Amino acid sequence: MFMYIFKCISVYIDKNGKLIGIPTGVNPKHGGVTGLDIFFVLEPEYSDEELESFLEKVFDTCYSKEYTDDLPFAMQVYSKTKGPASAVKGYQSIYLNWHDDEGYTIIPLKPDKRYRGAFESIKSISIKVTLTNKCLPIEKGALATAFRTAIDIIEKYGN
């Protein structure tokens, strides 16, 4: 299997704290990557270990299939709604990417008031979980701590 040096996922958060993680796949028609019709759910009151396992599972599913235009947006499948804008209404969002030379970048998002269903970064904030040595894994708990920091930023500035 081909190893990708860059992966990205979206995590949506409902009002009760449930997480819905969506991996990306290659979009050959338009180039780049697009969210797949696959989603994973993590119920609230999760431990740091469960959170990291959830995020890793979503990242591991990136590029597991090719995106095609006939695939529905994963949040539409999850929420059983017709359009992408209604599928994310009432959710918060966090965008995460992984680069094998750098580590994780986590970007807390807020709904974009100009475009229904879109999100924008909060004050251009991003949280880095960097590699200290490319041959060593990220320290256990560091990804969960950074993700929880992103949630705190959304709670403070996301409205």
- What is the C-alpha to C-alpha distance for residues 32 and 28, in angstroms, rounded to an integer? 7
Q: Domain count for the chain, please give it.
A: 1
* Residue that has been written with the tokens 């040595």 in this structure: 133
pLDDT of 123: 87
> Domain for residue 18, yes or no?
yes
Concatenated DSSP letters for 73-131? Answer: PHHHHHHT-SSHHHHHTT-EEEEEEEETTTEEEEEEEEE-TTSTT-EEESTT--EEEE-
* Per-residue pLDDT of the chain in tens (159 residues, 90 and over written 9): 445 778 999 999 999 999 999 999 887 777 778 888 899 999 999 999 999 999 999 999 999 887 777 778 899 989 998 888 899 999 999 999 998 888 899 999 999 888 888 899 998 889 988 876 666 667 889 999 999 999 999 999 976
- What is the C-alpha to C-alpha distance for residues 80 and 92, in angstroms, rounded to an integer? 18
pLDDT of 1: 41
- Provide φ and ψ at 95, rounded to 5°: -105, 130
CB 37 within 8 A of CB 71: yes
Q: Which residue segment(s) compose the domain that 149 sits in?
A: 6-157
Concatenated DSSP letters for 34-76? Answer: EE-S--EEE-SS--HHHHHHHHHHHHHHTTSS---TTSPPHHH
The CATH code of the domain that includes 15 is 3.40.1590.10
> Domain for residue 1, yes or no?
no
